[in-house]
């Protein structure tokens, strides 16, 4: 498999190195209007991955105008036709799943063992929302005595989608699939560190029959291209995934044009294991939820809260398992942890080793980085931490776990809720009443009891506090991408107050 992945890469990489990566506006690949580009490099070995269009306000304006023009027809296209185009995109993704996975892995450093599934899940997202196209406009009937009131849902208009670098392909499908199903048109600005897979996806969507202008892709930096997108008058809403600080900026930038915003932001999520839990399963899940996807995962269980009665036993096992994690080339199917996305992020993750030691926590595995090329870090485990330490409060976003002991259920809740974030929580206990109580008392948008994160597409996905505003998933996505209109029709000659008689 490793050899095959390398062979796929050597087939696709030279083309990208030669042609670079351009914008896609109105179905055409075009350079930035200014002609400017920036370089992209793989975090695996620093290899050049092409010149990327460095867009600015002019490119965003061109793309937004195209999206506004295309909205007039895309919103009216027969539902079955729109549904079939989404099915066709899903098929295209499946046909190209291997290439997508290899490209994503090499561009982001994410291990291929996870990226293979990400491509397939991306296809599933399109298929799920294809099935919802026909019902998306459905509303409520609220009859009154003299009027029949009913609501319909209509697409909000052209929307901006801004995505991060951690799993860019799958996250793009989460936003784009429901937006297209709703009848919106799109201007998408992917993260500057990971431009490759979004471009391939947009190209495949056009090959699958998506009309020109419906989905436009503009590369560039957040402070220029991203900012212009959030400020553009023609763009009615911004679906954003990224850091909390950026989310706050996006609200400010969008305020003058009254943008609707959906923000999926950072997390510092607790995994809480009580002493009556199935410790083997709980430990497996705790390790998976922190060290999968390089720990660059918003829903990571970054703080492990362990009841003191089982603390030593679980910690001993963790030390062994984290020490065994296989770090290496993400294209190797045996690899469990690949490189961080970029040298700046690699340095950030490493810096938390120093911060943890200064805080007074005990470093038992990792810290620092291996010698050699690539943005690798050693998987890291800190124990004996307290809730107020920076390694317990801040989002490290790497293979870095902080273990905190607790004695009682009340203390576990207090520690869990002591951070500004509130995305997910994972509770492990065989006491069903306690599992339910904990689920109600932890401050987060999503809770899993006796489970790792298992995404169910109709279920709402999103955070509270500094982890975000709004929900994705099933019908919740349509609350964002559609407007609810009330229509009231008189049933007869009801009284009308006469004025000026
Ligand atoms: P980031 O906020 O730095 O960048 C995200 C995107 O925003 C990029 O495309 C960037 O170019 C753009 N951007 C930056 N400044 C902008 C501005 N002023 N206006 C408009 N756009 C701007 O985030 P990142 O470092 O790429 O991603 C990591 C973060 O994403 C982590 O905090 C992680 O928790 C979060 N994340 C959240 C979820 C979720 O569902 N809650 C999922 C994945 C990642």
Is there an atom of ligand 1 within 6 Å of 394 CB? no
Between the CA of 161 and the centroid of ligand 1 the distance, in Å, is: 11
The ligand 1 atom at the shortest distance from the C-alpha of residue 267 is 34
Q: Is 295 left (phi over 0), alpha (psi -120 to 50) or beta?
A: left
Between the CA of 273 and the centroid of ligand 1 the distance, in Å, is: 30
Between the CA of 244 and the centroid of ligand 1 the distance, in Å, is: 8
Q: What confidence score (pLDDT) does residue 21 get?
A: 98
Mean pLDDT of 234-238: 98
Q: Which two tokens stand for residue 279?
A: 């410790």
Q: What confidence score (pLDDT) does residue 23 get?
A: 98
Strands 237-241, 159-162: pairing is parallel
Is there an atom of ligand 1 within 6 Å of 170 CB? no
Is there an atom of ligand 1 within 6 Å of 302 CB? no
CA distance 501 to 497: 10
Superfamily of structural domain 2-265+467-486:
Aldehyde Dehydrogenase; Chain A, domain 1 (3.40.605.10)
Between the CA of 266 and the centroid of ligand 1 the distance, in Å, is: 9
- Buried-state track 201-215, b at ≥16 Cβ within 10 A, e below 16: bbbbbbebebbebbb
Residue-wise pLDDT tens digits, 354-364: 999 999 999 99
Is there an atom of ligand 1 within 6 Å of 222 CB? yes
Is there an atom of ligand 1 within 6 Å of 266 CB? yes
Is there an atom of ligand 1 within 6 Å of 341 CB? no
Residue-wise pLDDT tens digits, 406-425: 999 999 999 999 999 999 99
**Mutate-to-test residue for ligand 1 from 107, 188, 222, highest number of ligand atoms within 8 A of CB:** 222
Is there an atom of ligand 1 within 6 Å of 185 CB? no
Q: What confidence score (pLDDT) does residue 34 get?
A: 98
Is there an atom of ligand 1 within 6 Å of 175 CB? no
Q: What confidence score (pLDDT) does residue 136 get?
A: 97
Q: Which two tokens stand for residue 412?
A: 């576990």
Q: What confidence score (pLDDT) does residue 183 get?
A: 98
Q: Between helices 168-182 and 97-108, what is the axis angle to 10°?
A: 120
Q: What confidence score (pLDDT) does residue 200 get?
A: 97
Query: What residues act catalytically?
Result: 264, 298
pLDDT mean across residues, the chain: 97
Q: What confidence score (pLDDT) does residue 293 get?
A: 97
Mean pLDDT of 277-289: 98
Between the CA of 490 and the centroid of ligand 1 the distance, in Å, is: 48
**Considering only CA atoms, which of 137, 155, 160, 153 is closest in space to residue 215?**
160
DSSP code per residue over 44-87:
TT--EEEEEE---HHHHHHHHHHHHHHHHHHTTS-HHHHHHHHH
**Mutate-to-test residue for ligand 1 from 54, 108, 167, 242, highest number of ligand atoms within 8 A of CB:** 242
Q: Is 269 exposed, middle or buried (0-12, 13-18, 19+ CB in 10 A)?
A: buried
Q: Grade residue 264 by pLDDT with cuts at 50, 70 and 90.
A: very high
| Domain 270-449 architecture | 3-Layer(aba) Sandwich (3.40)
Residue-wise pLDDT tens digits, 321-333: 999 999 999 999 9
Domain map (residue ranges) of the chain: 2-265+467-486, 270-449
Supply the residue whose CA is at minimum distance from atom 9 of ligand 1. 191
CA distance 284 to 322: 11
Residue 449 sits at φ, ψ, to 5 deg, of: -110, 125
Strands 147-155, 482-490: pairing is antiparallel
Mean pLDDT of 134-150: 96
Between the CA of 494 and the centroid of ligand 1 the distance, in Å, is: 54
The ligand 1 atom at the shortest distance from the C-alpha of residue 266 is 34
Looking at the chain, the whole-number percentage of residues with pLDDT higher than 70 is 100
Mean pLDDT of 366-386: 97
Is there an atom of ligand 1 within 6 Å of 470 CB? no
Residue-wise pLDDT tens digits, 443-490: 999 999 999 999 999 999 999 999 999 999 999 999 999 999 999 999
Q: What confidence score (pLDDT) does residue 355 get?
A: 98
Q: What confidence score (pLDDT) does residue 411 get?
A: 98
Between the CA of 241 and the centroid of ligand 1 the distance, in Å, is: 5
Q: Grade residue 282 by pLDDT with cuts at 50, 70 and 90.
A: very high
**Mutate-to-test residue for ligand 1 from 243, 268, 296, 340, highest number of ligand atoms within 8 A of CB:** 243
Mean pLDDT of 49-78: 98
Supply the residue whose CA is at minimum distance from atom 35 of ligand 1. 242
Between the CA of 430 and the centroid of ligand 1 the distance, in Å, is: 37
Is there an atom of ligand 1 within 6 Å of 248 CB? no
CA distance 26 to 48: 28
Supply the residue whose CA is at minimum distance from atom 15 of ligand 1. 222
Is there an atom of ligand 1 within 6 Å of 265 CB? yes
Is there an atom of ligand 1 within 6 Å of 264 CB? yes
Q: Which two tokens stand for residue 88?
A: 């066709």
């Amino acid at each position: 498999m490793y050899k095959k992945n390398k062979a796929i890469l050597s087939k696709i990489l030279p083309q990208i190195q030669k042609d670079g990566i351009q914008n896609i506006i109105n179905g055409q690949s075009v350079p930035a209007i200014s002609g400017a580009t920036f370089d992209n490099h793989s975090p695996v070995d620093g290899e050049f991955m092409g010149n990327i269009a460095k867009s600015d306000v002019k490119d965003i304006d061109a793309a937004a105008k195209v999206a506004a023009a295309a909205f007039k027809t895309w919103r009216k296209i027969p539902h079955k036709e729109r549904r079939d185009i989404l099915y066709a995109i899903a098929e295209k993704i499946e046909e190209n799943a291997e290439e997508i996975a290899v490209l994503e892995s090499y561009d982001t450093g994410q291990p291929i063992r996870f990226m293979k599934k990400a491509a397939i899940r991306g296809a599933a997202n399109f298929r799920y929302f294809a099935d919802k196209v026909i019902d998306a406009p459905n509303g409520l009937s609220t009859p009154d005595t003299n009027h029949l009131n009913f609501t319909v849902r209509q697409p909000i208009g052209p929307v901006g989608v801004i995505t991060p670098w951690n799993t860019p392909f799958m996250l793009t499908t989460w936003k784009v699939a429901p937006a297209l199903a709703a009848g919106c048109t799109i201007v998408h600005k992917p993260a500057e560190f990971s431009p490759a897979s979004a471009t391939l996806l947009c190209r495949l969507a056009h090959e699958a029959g998506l009309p020109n202008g419906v989905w436009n892709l503009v590369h560039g930096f957040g402070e220029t291209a991203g900012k212009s997108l959030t400020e553009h008058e023609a763009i009615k809403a911004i679906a954003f995934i990224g850091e909390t600080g950026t989310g706050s900026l996006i609200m400010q930038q969008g305020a003058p044009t009254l943008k609707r915003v959906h923000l999926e932001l950072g997390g510092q999520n607790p995994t809480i294991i009580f002493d009556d839990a199935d410790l083997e399963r709980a430990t497996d899940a705790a390790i998976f939820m922190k060290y999968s996807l390089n720990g660059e995962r918003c829903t990571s269980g970054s703080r492990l809260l362990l009841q003191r009665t089982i603390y030593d036993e679980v910690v001993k096992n963790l030390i062994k398992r984290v020490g065994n994690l296989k770090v290496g080339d993400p294209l190797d199917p045996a690899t469990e942890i690949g490189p961080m996305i970029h040298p700046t992020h690699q340095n950030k993750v490493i810096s938390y080793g120093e911060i943890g030691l200064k805080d007074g926590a005990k470093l038992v595995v990792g810290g620092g980085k291996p010698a050699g090329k690539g943005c690798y870090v050693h998987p890291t485990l800190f124990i004996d931490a307290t809730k107020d330490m920076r390694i317990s409060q801040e989002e490290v976003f790497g293979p870095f776990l902080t273990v905190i002991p607790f004695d009682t259920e009340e203390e576990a809740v207090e520690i869990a809720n002591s951070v500004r974030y509130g995305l997910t929580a994972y509770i492990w206990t065989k006491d069903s009443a306690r599992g339910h109580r904990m689920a109600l008392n932890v401050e987060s948008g999503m809770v899993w009891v006796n489970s790792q994160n298992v995404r169910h597409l109709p279920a709402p996905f999103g955070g509270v506090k500094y982890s975000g505003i709004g929900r994705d998933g099933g019908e919740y996505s349509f609350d964002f991408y559609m407007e609810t209109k009330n229509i009231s029709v008189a049933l007869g000659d009801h009284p009308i107050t006469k004025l000026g008689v």
